[in-house]
A and B are shown apart, each in its own frame.
Chain A
Amino acid sequence: MALLEVQDLAIEFSSKQGPLRAVDNVSFSVGAGEILGLMGESGSGKSVTCRALLRLLPSRQARIVEGAVWFDGQDLVSLPESEIRKLRGRAISMIFQNPSSHLDPVMTIGQQIAEPLIVHKGLSKAEAKNRAVELLRQVGIPDPTQQYDAYPHQFSGGMRQRAMIAAALSCQPKLLIADEPTTALDVTVQAQILRLLLDLRDQEGLTIILITHDLGVIAQTADSVAVMYAGRIVEQGPKSELLRRPMHPYSEALIRSQPELANPDEALPSIDGQPPSLTAPPPGCRFHPRCNLAVADCATGHFDLVPVAQGRLTACNRWQELRDAEGENP
């Protein structure tokens, strides 16, 4: 039974050139205790999708035009604002890419962690403080009693991210949406933060949606992966299988262009061309103008995500060819 189920989600932004569909026909589900990696390049709609889950889109420009998000038997898309607010921070929490700018600069770290406890759980100030110190300890901040009174600018990037995780988890939510939680951190700290998220999943049964453009992060953490391109999910499947044998040319190209896998004597492989403009996306498969395997058929018709193997879904009609090409040229 999935904890969260997204069905046919579509989000439009209003722009001068008319409505811009930033997310189109996106469906996925996350089981309890699972870590789903949502992968894609900048502008592919991963962050917008996740903000939409908590209805934190800029209300004047963006709106959910289609679809449903089922969480705990409720459709988050049709819930009134007052009801969705009760879920935020309590049942579903979010952490962000840049912990420096996502913490209030004039409030102490401790107060920011204690605040959700006072607001949502009705704890007294003293109780909340004790609990906040405990949370700081749990996320691995040394000397938590002292650091409770520190301001964000006195913390390093990694410590700020830990503090943000502590605030997000203070009310024991079931689902954590982590929007590029390690992108702004250096590699050693990155690994520590990912380790912390994994520990939280193992010990507390936390379900995590991990947004990232970094395949390394996916490889270390996720159980299953959804790959987004130009506002759509193009491929989905269990992590190890998807990374070993991608079934969509875009995922395949993405994996091939990872610096870690590159041969130092050769130029780094890249995907030719630019992601399409969302005001006028190409017809048919949105990836076909950049795809090596594209044929005339790819420019027409619908390309929906369809199951092709156990647990595997792809939006590519020619995934068989991709497997054959792989087979010939391993």
Chain B
Amino acid sequence: MSAITPSPVTLGLGGRLGASKSLLWGGGLTLIWILLALTAPLVAPYDPTAQDLTATLRPPSLTHPLGTDNFGRDVLSRIIWGTRLDLAMGLLALVTPFVAGCLIGLISGYFGGIVDILLMRLLDVTMSFPFFVLVIAIISVLGPGLASFFIAVALVAWVSYARLVRSRVLVLKHADFVLAARSLGYGHLRVMLRHILPNAVLPAIVFAMSDVVITILLGSSLSYLGMGVQPPTPEWGVMIAEGQNFLATAWWICFFPGLAIVFVALGFSLLADGLAERFGTVE
């Protein structure tokens, strides 16, 4: 069971952080984005939806550090406000599939037999479709909007978590400490939730960090396609979609939201790598 034992914390702070640069950088970057999202009303210089038709398509300058769009809205303010929506989309959309996937994987792996067979066939069917295609298909049926996006992601994204957790549970249910827990008279529910799940959930958490990136990209892409967040709400995908008509003359409208997506993705990816390294759960 050494693979799931957290490495002993014997090194000093410097040694530990030094051992994982990606954890430090990824954590730092992610923290900055989260702070930016939380403090958006304080740090954004302008109202993200306020139009100023006297100052449209202005290049980056001191008054508008990242320029303005075709309605004269401040791009920097829109990006800062967009952080809220994009991070929320990435994180919130994953809560349901994460919880559902972990529980399904736990039940499937622990009980095995017919329960396992049925759940795994359901998983196979879901996985046999390409992720994006299935999400887009579901949203087309439900109609565009954020609610459809959350439902679609929940219906599709649980499979990865279910598979990760199930594979750990299959090993852990025969672990000695599980036998010991049963010898102390604990019921199935307690053994599953208190003893197996905490030991099985780590790879799922690490995967969730990289899944956040995919979900944010998905959310932005869908908004870009007009199936997610609707204008004039400040959202990076929406901004890129609106700015593409002016790409030749006002590149900043598309470029900076794109850069924001890249750096959010970088932050979470590094965090995921760092966590995987730290806990030795590289898949």
Contacts and interface: CB of A to CB of B under 8 A. Distances in A.
A106 B198 contact: yes
A284 B180 CA distance: 37
B190 A119 contact: yes
Interface residues of A, number: 30
Interface string A35-57: 00000000000000000001010
Interface in B176-224: 176-177, 179-187, 190, 194-195, 198-199
Nearest to B3: A105
B168 to A, nearest CB: 12
B176 A96 contact: yes
Contacts of A103: 177, 180
B175 interface: yes
B183 A101 contact: no
Interface in B38-79: none
Interface stretch (B4-12, B16-24, B87-95): B4-12
Interface stretch (A86-94, A287-295, A303-311): A86-94
Contacts of B198: 104, 106-107
A105 B199 contact: yes
Nearest to A55: B182
B180 to A, nearest CB: 4
B1 interface: yes
Given A107-B195, A153-B6, A102 B184 contact: no
Contacts of A56: 179, 182-183
Contacts of B195: 104, 107
Dominant SS among interface residues on chain B: helix
Contacts of A115: 184, 186, 194
B175 A101 contact: yes
Interface in A63-111: 85-90, 93-94, 96, 98, 101-107
B185 A90 contact: yes
A94 B6 contact: no
B199 A89 contact: no
A125 interface: no
Contacts of A153: 5-6, 8
Interface of A: 54, 56, 58, 85-90, 93-94, 96, 98, 101-107, 115-116, 119-120, 151, 153-154, 164, 167-168
Given A106-B6, A116-B184, 17 more contacts: A89-B186, A90-B185, A96-B176, A96-B179, A98-B176, A102-B180, A104-B177, A104-B198, A104-B199, A105-B4, A105-B6, A105-B199, A107-B194, A115-B184, A115-B186, A153-B5, A153-B8
10 contacts: A88-B184, A96-B176, A107-B194, A107-B195, A107-B198, A115-B186, A115-B194, A116-B185, A153-B8, A167-B184
